[in-house]
Structure 1
Amino acid sequence: MNTIQQQIRTTLTELYNDSKNDRYNMVKGLAKSVFRPMQPMDFKDAYLSVSKEQGEGLKRLIKENNIKNIVEFGTSFGISTLFLAQGAMETGGSIITTELIASKAIKAIENFKKAGASELIEVRTGNAMHTLKNHNRPIDLLLLDGWKDLYLSLFQMLEPNFHSDTIIYVDNADMADTRKFLKTIGENKKYQLKSKFGGKVVLITTLK
């Protein structure tokens, strides 16, 4: 294992340890939904990360499919991004990730520097419908892990950048807004959907 891979692993361990003490911020964000619909800023201090099992699965997915051009919607504090970076290091790939909340993006950038992975990752701060609007490169892997009601709009905006081997990784597939998105995509005979991790994740690929 090279030095950067080890730095990434160490940083991920520290971030997961921090996230174990984060239940308060998550509960605080959820409590606000009692009075109104949830909003991104409700979770500005909360870790919204993929599981370690999912992270390892993302690494394998990248390596097994020789994925190079990766786009992530929903950086949060950068845990999932660091797993993507581990895979991208094996394939010579790179990552564009976008985060709505500036304070989270700043913290994620610090984490990427600490992990020695900054050169692999471009962070775009702001609404993904704006930060990715003029994206003009092929997308090998699109990770959807941001605000769920934007999944469909973002998918449709980026669809011209998909190719026959593009994989769309949909996290939180069991949530109501995500299920609506998947129902719409599933009605398009061009795509096939495969459930993973007990239904928490769905992979969308193009039928060949």
Structure 2
Amino acid sequence: MPSPIDAPPHIDALLSRLHQQSLDQEAALKAPSAAARFVSSDLTDLTPTAAEVPFDALMRDKFIALDAAKCVFTYNLLRATGATTVVEAGTSFGVSTIYLALAVARNAAAMGKEGRVIGTEKEEGKAAEARRYWRECGSEVEGVIDLRLGDLLDTLKDGFAEVDCLLLDIWTPLALPTLKLVQPKMRKGAVVLADNTLTAAEGYKELLEYLRAPNSGFTNLTLPYDGGFEMSVYSPR
């Protein structure tokens, strides 16, 4: 079966390896009787040993990457919409970022424009590891990524304009503040994607209420991927 993304074999192989590592880590995090999926709300369901570890320390070496199916959907959505500027809130080890960069690079080359994926990460160790994976991909991925290290509510204040897509894969209380920060720079027709909106519905409550409010300027659809994947199109009147 051909690859669902336009990527050279070495990137396909890298992505397969990283997704498997992420799935293995999620399975290890969960109690034996629980499902394989892990989100931050699962803290109360962790094994006793893991539950004693502070959340940031526990997650410091964990991928918890966006599911491969969601990444493929996002890649193809970006290709279809011609996105050339994407903001990723919650880059972590940079797995989903590779898909974003591939799509943006292809679009930018076809349109004769500059392409950029603006990533955010607060952990220096994760950022360094992400950069290593991007170097392994090559210049077509590494060359379009602008990774910003620190508090995303500071790093996303400026330095970009007319955003085509915002991907929210972060600690849920930060989702709405991040959207409000980026929204003034979103073009009409821009897309907001949020992961695990069914699994972590309570954490996303304020974000979803904002997106679905009358006259919000967004049209919304919850895609039936594992855990839920919210797609909201910005179409202000």
Q: Give the TM-score category using the shorter length.
A: 0.7 to 0.9
Aligned length: 206
Give the Cα separation in 2 of the matches to 1:193 and 1:20.
28
Q: Note if contact 1:140-1:163 (Cα within 8 Å) is conserved in structure 2.
A: yes
Q: Distance in 1 between matches of 2:162 and 2:86?
A: 9
**2:23/2:64 contact within 8 Å kept:** no
Once residues 119 and 131 of structure 2 are traced to their aligned partners in structure 1, the CA distance between those partners, rounded to angstroms, is 11
Amino acid at match of 2:9: Q
2:159 corresponds to 1:143 = no
- Tell me, in whole angstroms, the C-alpha distance in 2 between the residues paired with 1:185 and 1:112: 33
Aligned to 1:200: 228
The percent of aligned pairs where both chains have the same amino acid is: 22
Aligned equivalent of 1:60: 76
Write out the 4+ residue segments of structure 1 that deviate beyond 4 Å after TM superposition. Answer: 32-36
| Paired residues of 1:195 and 1:202 also in contact (CA < 8 A) | yes
Mapped partners of 2:175, 2:159: distance in 1 = 16
TM-score, with structure 2 as normaliser: 0.78
Could you tell me which residue of structure 1 aligns to residue 16 of structure 2?
13
| Distance across 1 between alignment mates of 2:52 and 2:24 | 25
Matches within 5 A, 1:1-208: 5-23=8-26, 26-27=29-30, 30=43, 31=46, 39-92=55-108, 93-116=115-138, 117-174=141-198, 175=200, 176-189=202-215, 190-198=217-225, 200-207=228-235
SS in 2 for 1:163: strand
Q: Which has the higher helix share?
A: 1
- Mapped contact 1:25–1:43 kept (Cα < 8 A): no
- Unaligned residue ranges in structure 1 (runs of 5+): none
Cα displacement string for residues 146-193 of structure 1 (whole angstroms, at most 9, x for unaligned residues): 111001111111111012111111112121211331112211412111
For 1:180 and 1:107, how far apart are their aligned partners in 2?
32
Superposition CA RMSD, Å: 2.6
Secondary structure, in 3 states, of the residue corresponding to 1:140? strand
Report the Cα distance in structure 2 between the residues aligned to 1:23 and 1:153, rounded to whole angstroms: 27
